[in-house]
Amino acid sequence: MSKRKTARIHSITTLEELYSYCTTRFEKRQMSEMIDTDVRYTYGSFRKTCDSISQLLSRYGIGSSDRVVILSQNTPNWTVAFFSLVAFGRVAVPILPDSSANEISNILAHSGSKALFVSKRFLSRFTDEQLDKLNLVIDIETLDIIRRKREAFTCDGRPSVPGPDDMAAIIYTSGTTGNAKGVMLSHRNFCTNITISYHAHRTSKRDVWLSILPMPHTYELTIGVLYPMSVGGKVCYLQKPPTASVLLHALMTVRPTIMLSVPLIIEKMYKSSVVPSIEKSTVLRWMRDHTPWLLWKLVGKRLKKTFGGRIKFFGVGGAKLDSNVEAFLKRIHFHYAIGYGMTECAPLICTAGVKQTHVGTTGGAAYGVDVKLKDVDPATGEGEIIVKGNNVMMGYYKDPDRTASVFTSDGWFRTGDLATIDEKGRFSIRGRMGSVIIGPSGENIYPEEIEHVINDLEGVDESLVVDDDGKLVALVQLNKNVLDWDHASEEQFFERLQAQKEAVLRAVNKQVSRFSQISRVEIQKEPFSKTATQKIRRFLYKKSATQQNENPAGMPDEKQTPQPETPETKSEAPIEQPDTTPAALEEQEK
């Protein structure tokens, strides 16, 4: 990239400037497309559409600083909706597609939104009363009007040119206790992250993104929507949920150079495809034991081919990546990168580009961001990560008390994450402050570390470790083929269930320290309740032994009192069917 273009990226401080720059500089280049459809935009046609929609909003009294909700699956028109708002001084309120009707109702009321962009498939989640209060409801797929308030046709919705510190979006998060927080992000917050992304991994107009993570998340929104625009890149979207066949077809059709993911996706691929394939093959096992370099070369070649053969940046964020999986990616020379962040920082805090990754760490402080540890324990070197920089949010919408609670007296943002830092400035996340369990002798026990051990066991899908009256209990969900719950009333099922519990208990306690020993294992029948970034909602499972024993399926107690809340670590990004991971596609199709 030329020095002039680099300087231009660094000088952009509002999304209006980004909009004007990219739609002028790259006017004739293709910006986005929905795979296997006619839905696509050049940068020039994108601008014409956004300008037209902005004028429509103005005619219905929706002007500068007014909030507008966006609820849709991923589509090029999601970006149209977003920029018809933020480029003209309005405020976008993106909502996750899997949000419940109750969550949507709360966000709509709390944000005070005046209009709605929505896919018709999600329209049923709104009541007629809610829709009647809105000035305008637009079908995001066709950009046609679905409903309008006739008295709102006043033509007085005046747009404005936003400033760097004006609010661009309110991103609602689930929060650790499930209590939604409206994170106010400014134009400067987003544009700072574009610069951070550029310094983490330089891209160009020749790069092609394949989007598989929800666009309302700052992880996908910033790095998967805004950053491509700054360099004139192209983003491709799936028109269907990412099942095995859909994703495999997309990878072969698009042959992306850049993808963003959450750890669960690559971890599932490793556990469900790579490891079983090696274990089932006498030849591959022999290669692993005698010529591992050759095995990893072959596996790496196959995996890269599955991704289309051009992948040069596979970003992983949203949670800590399993060290065994990361070591595997290193061995096969797969071009992965690591990031750490949260919605409140739009989202990047730490980054490790493709050439800077180090197993077990999340990289160093992002470009231009100050990151350090607070209240460091001299015995362990652990402290809370705190952040200061232009990436840090404006605050929580209509919630000054909560805002004040997450900032130190001298203006540092408290993440609520515990970490250590090595001599090269790389941070290693240990766990959430709210999830640390204090052992009988005062030891800090990090359930996430025990869970990584459990999750590596054969037959285990996911797990959660909780404190039950001073004892550690592992809640475990097994792979679908391990137990047949349709025969739960039979004696043989019970015997197998007990055998699975005992096997997990023995295997884990052989690998963990004395004070991290598990006292009991409970098998979950139903999937864990998760956040949108596919992290388990821990607060739902902090329950007594009596409650757990009365509820053998392991479902959360709806009457449980939530635990104290801290900001939730995230870099945004679930996938609708996390089993359907790229490397496992061919195996699953069989």
Order of strands across the sheet with 370-374? 370-374, 383-388, 413-421, 427-432
Nearest Cα neighbor of 399 from 224, 173, 574 is 173
Domain with CATH 3.40.50.12780 in the chain: 3-187, 262-434
- The answer to whether 211 touches 221, Cβ cutoff 8 Å, is no
Tell me which CATH code domain 3-187 carries: 3.40.50.12780
Is the torsion defined by CA of 169, 173, 175, 180 positive or negative? positive
What secondary structure letter does DSSP report for 360?
T
Nearest Cα neighbor of 510 from 549, 441, 463, 456 is 456
| Strand locations in 288-345 (E) | 313-316, 336-341
Question: What's the CA angle centered on 573, arms 189 and 183, to 5 degrees?
Answer: 35
Cα gap 479→473, rounded to integer Å: 19
Question: What's the CA angle centered on 35, arms 32 and 38, to 5 degrees?
Answer: 75
- The answer to whether 582 touches 353, Cβ cutoff 8 Å, is no
Q: Which two tokens stand for residue 59?
A: 């005619």
* Top-level class of domain 262-434: alpha beta
Order of strands across the sheet with 208-211? 40-42, 30-34, 234-237, 208-211, 258-261, 313-316, 336-341, 348-352, 364-365
**Residue 288: how many CB atoms within 10 A of its CB?**
16
Collect contacts of 110-113 with beta carbons under 8 A, ≥24 apart: 110/172, 110/180, 110/182, 110/397, 110/398, 111/67, 111/69, 111/170, 111/172, 111/182, 111/397, 112/67, 113/66, 113/67, 113/68, 113/69
Q: pLDDT value at position 34?
A: 96
Question: Counting beta carbons within 10 angstroms of the beta carbon of residue 39, is it exposed (0 to 12), middle (13 to 18) or buried (19 or more)?
Answer: middle
Q: Tokens 């556990």 correspond to what residue?
A: 271
Backbone angles phi, psi at 381, to 5 degrees: 80, 10
Cα gap 499→3, rounded to integer Å: 64
User: Are β-strands 234-237 and 181-186 bridged in parallel, bridged antiparallel, or unpaired?
Assistant: unpaired
What is the amino acid identity at position 327?
A
- Alpha carbons within 13 angstroms on the beta-carbon side of residue 404 total 4
Q: Which residues contact 180 (CB under 8 A, 6 or more apart)?
A: 103, 106, 107, 110, 172, 173, 174
pLDDT tens by residue, the chain, 590 residues:
556 556 677 789 999 999 999 999 999 999 999 999 999 999 999 999 999 999 999 999 999 999 999 999 999 999 999 999 999 999 999 998 888 888 899 899 999 999 999 999 999 999 999 999 999 999 999 999 999 998 889 888 899 999 999 999 999 986 444 467 899 999 999 999 999 999 999 999 999 999 999 999 899 999 999 999 999 999 999 988 777 778 889 999 999 999 998 887 888 888 878 888 888 889 999 999 999 999 999 999 999 998 999 999 999 987 788 888 999 999 999 999 999 999 999 999 999 999 999 999 999 999 999 999 999 999 889 999 999 999 999 999 999 999 999 999 999 999 999 999 999 999 999 888 777 777 765 567 878 888 888 988 888 888 999 888 778 899 999 887 788 777 777 778 888 888 889 999 999 998 887 778 888 999 888 888 876 666 777 777 775 433 544 444 443 333 333 333 344 434 333 333 333 333 333 333 33
Helix (H) or strand (E) holding 285: helix 282-290
Q: Which two tokens stand for residue 111?
A: 């944000």
Task: Give buried/exposed letters for 491-522 (b at 16+ CB in 10 A, else e).
Answer: eeeeeebeebbeebbebbbeebeeebbbeebb
Q: Which two tokens stand for residue 77?
A: 């028109």
Cα gap 482→497, rounded to integer Å: 9
Cα gap 538→177, rounded to integer Å: 8
Q: pLDDT value at position 398?
A: 94
Does the domain spanning 445-550 belong to CATH 3.30.300.30?
yes
Q: How far apart are the first and last CA of the chain?
A: 43
